[in-house]
Amino acid sequence: MRQNFYYSQQIFWLTTAFCLVCLSAQAQEIPEKIDFLDLHLRIDEQAQKMLKSQVRSLTESKISLKRQVQVARRFFPLMQKVWKKEGLPQDLSYLSLANNPLKDSIVFWFGLPKHLAARLKLEQNNEVNEYQNVVLVTQKIALYLKENGRLFQKHWLAVLLSYELPWDEVEKYLKIGKILPIDTPQAEVKITAETHPFILKMIALKIALGQEIKNAPESDDDLIVLNYTTPKTLQQIAQEYLISVAKLKRYNFWLKTEELVTNKNYPLIIPLPAKSPSSEMPLLAQEPTEKIYTSPPVATMHTVKQGETLFKIAKQYGTTLQNLYALNNIDANHKLHIGQQIIVYISGENIKGSPVVYPEVKIPKPNTAFLPEAVVQNTVFHTVAKGENLYTIAKKYNVLASEIVRANKLENSQVQIGQQLRIVKTIPQKITPQAIPNTPAKPTTLVTNKNNLRTISPKQVPREMTLLDIRVKFTEKAQMLIQKDISMLIKNNKYFHEKLERANWYAKLIEEILEEQGVPTDFKYLPIQESTLLPNVVSVSNAVGYWQFKEVAAREVGLRVDNQVDERLNIIASTEGAAKYLKRNNLYFRNWIFTLLSYNMGFAGAKKFMEENYDEDEVMDVKNFVIDEHMHWYVRKFIAHKIAFEAELGKDSTNRMLVPYYKATNKSLKQIADENQVALQDLIWHNQWLKTAKVPANKPYTIILPLRR
């Protein structure tokens, strides 16, 4: 048995080693043909052997390779934008790695050749080190290469070599055949063992890193470049873009002062959160089904019995003494008495199955809330074919790429040909109203007769309208698609009236905050689209509240999210946070329509959509805009919400008005309800962001008072 086991182990390791050798050999294969610098290269056998050795050296450490790829994946788009502007090939980005001194990271444009450094005239002083400004150096090199492109009649291999050598030496290499001539733009260029070593080095970099960079997962940050003509400190810029000064410095270490030097109009790199604040990175052209309804975390009360201590109570409820001290505003010296009520918070649980409970208040049983749709899961299996990646597969099945990753427990977004993937599709199904457990009872309604609601007639999409402070014209196909969305919105008359009821409550509050923040007031329709203006909506992406913020995004815009307060459920705080997010993104887009899209696709997704479908110069700072059938579904759906709700807001009589209440520190909701003579049930419903019995004192919080007119 032992001998058999030994041989089995030996065979296993030999097989494994053989497979690794095979994979390594396969990974090092050099193609006979490759596209590089917009040229078709044919590599002969001797050159292939030389390239194979170079590529093996570049990729021998997988950890170092991964780190280099991550850095290149982040910065290459900035360079490629410069190349595109000057009409140069995108592959010139590999030049920035020509003399990279680091194995586990990258120093771009390190060790510039002497002839080039003299030509660029970069400065280094007490304020700046221009050699470390990646974008500035790329811009200067682009102008130099563009000039050489004219000299060498766009023979891009010669232009590439002119980075390493003066142009007269490049001419010499052309004459002796070290760089073969190009007969026509479509002709193949032969790469031989006689080809200049620098050109071979650049081809090896493309082979080693090209596909890796292309397949690398997107960074959490998307980098943009801005030029400031007026003096600003890094602190001011960081505040403007909702990022830390430390993060700003990390991408702009060329700047040695705290104030931006503006005499040369330096490009400054701004790292912005790439992902959507509310959903997974959506790469689909169609609207996903994502919203579900759930309850916020809850609090419960404990009545002290004879012989009990705080330690025993903490142990009983699975919490800590520190939590009990904080929740009840007491310390270790506090003496309990029989009958005293202690607040206990259990994150995400409800010990006794009851809704949020406050002292001396009996909360009615949970009310019902209408769910517009539910989902039925259907599992299929997909075999990865040649040319497919995770995102094309996700698009094919109308699911999120992240859902495929979760369903198959993938470590990253890379898939292999022949790999079987489990696809879990969600199919919308109409359902009847469901009870939402652990949710405070719904407040008194505005609509007096639910059984005799007026029928909402579909509003027609106009030929043109003002949208987000832009005059918009629609093509006929766009009108048809938006009209279809409007019809779907009003299809269920009862459900539309419920949303309209909440819109009548909140619209004025939201509008005032948007106006104060300098954001178009049309954005008041966005939380209707995101959450139907219900505070306790949670998406499958774990986005929460009126504006559907995920936890990380909420903190980025200054919202508090912890076991005492979740400001995503506070209409005032969350609207202020959404306004900050939108205002920040519009500093780049300078077009509120694409800023709107960034709320769904994230900054990086909206930026990519704009760059792939529009000319930036034609959409930024415009007063007029044409929307056709190719506009993203999220924007079309927003337009449908604006048209449908704008015409109906204020038509139904209301006996309720929501008013901000600012003097809430250290008060319980019961105290506030008594002071202002409002129904505690209604007060709780509108303030589900508060998870403790009293409003914390660490900063000002706004309570929403539901007053009767």
Query: Who's near 192: CB < 8 A, 6+ residues apart?
Result: 44, 46, 47, 180
**Helices (H), ranges, 152-251:** 156-164, 167-176, 197-215, 234-240, 245-251
Tell me what pLDDT residue 101 has: 82
- For 80-106, what is each residue's pLDDT tens digit? 999 999 999 999 999 999 888 877 778
Compute, in degrees rounded to 10, the torsion defined by CA atoms 91, 93, 97, 99.
90
- Please return the burial class of 523, using the count of CB atoms within 10 Å of its CB with bins 0-12, 13-18 and 19+: buried
Which CA distances in Å does 125 have to 119, 122, 255? 18, 10, 10
CA atoms within 13 A on the CB side of 464: 9
Task: Tell me, rounded to whole angstroms, the distance of Cα 550 from its chain centroid.
Answer: 10
Which CA distances in Å does 587 have to 88, 514, 523, 603? 28, 16, 17, 11
Tell me what pLDDT residue 484 has: 94
- For 379-392, what is each residue's pLDDT tens digit? 778 888 887 877 67
* Per-residue pLDDT at 688 exceeds 70: yes
* Per-residue pLDDT at 446 exceeds 50: no
> What percentage of the chain has pLDDT greater than the value 90?
42
More confident residue, 102 or 526: 526
Tell me what pLDDT residue 457 has: 84
- Give dist(CA 597, CA 649) in Å, integer: 24
* Per-residue pLDDT at 630 exceeds 80: yes
Tell me what pLDDT residue 188 has: 81
More confident residue, 182 or 26: 182
Residue 661, classed as helix, strand or coil, is: strand
- Please return the burial class of 185, using the count of CB atoms within 10 Å of its CB with bins 0-12, 13-18 and 19+: exposed
Which one, of 689, 684, 685, 683, lies nearest residue 706 by Cα? 683
pLDDT tier at 589, thresholds 50, 70, 90: very high
Least reliable range by pLDDT among 183-197, 244-258, 668-682: 183-197
Asked if residues 564 and 691 have their Cβ atoms less than 8 Å apart, the reply is yes
User: Concatenated DSSP letters for 376-429?
Assistant: EEEEEEEEPPTT--HHHHHHHHT--HHHHHHHHT-SSS---TT-EEEEEEEEEE
pLDDT tier at 403, thresholds 50, 70, 90: low
Most trustworthy range by pLDDT among 184-198, 264-278, 282-296, 566-580: 566-580
Stretch 190-208: mean pLDDT: 92
* Six-digit token string for 150: 């004219």
- For 235-274, what is each residue's pLDDT tens digit? 999 998 999 899 999 999 899 888 887 778 899 999 998 8
Query: Who's near 88: CB < 8 A, 6+ residues apart?
Result: 142, 145, 146, 149
* Six-digit token string for 488: 């779907």
Least reliable range by pLDDT among 32-46, 117-131, 358-372, 563-577: 358-372
- For 275-329, what is each residue's pLDDT tens digit? 888 765 444 444 544 443 333 333 456 788 888 888 788 777 767 776 677 666 6
Tell me what pLDDT residue 587 has: 92
- For 209-235, what is each residue's pLDDT tens digit? 998 898 888 788 889 998 887 788 899
Residue 35, classed as helix, strand or coil, is: strand
* Per-residue pLDDT at 76 exceeds 90: yes
Tell me what pLDDT residue 355 has: 28
Stretch 429-456: mean pLDDT: 50
Stretch 513-518: mean pLDDT: 93
- Give dist(CA 658, CA 646) in Å, integer: 19
Q: Which amino acid is at 688?
A: Q
Q: pTM of the prediction?
A: 0.69
Stretch 364-390: mean pLDDT: 56
Stretch 13-38: mean pLDDT: 61
Tell me what pLDDT residue 632 has: 94
Query: Who's near 477: CB < 8 A, 6+ residues apart?
Result: 628, 629
Q: Are strands 267-273 and 221-227 parallel, antiparallel or unpaired?
A: antiparallel
Residue 147, classed as helix, strand or coil, is: helix
Tell me what pLDDT residue 327 has: 63
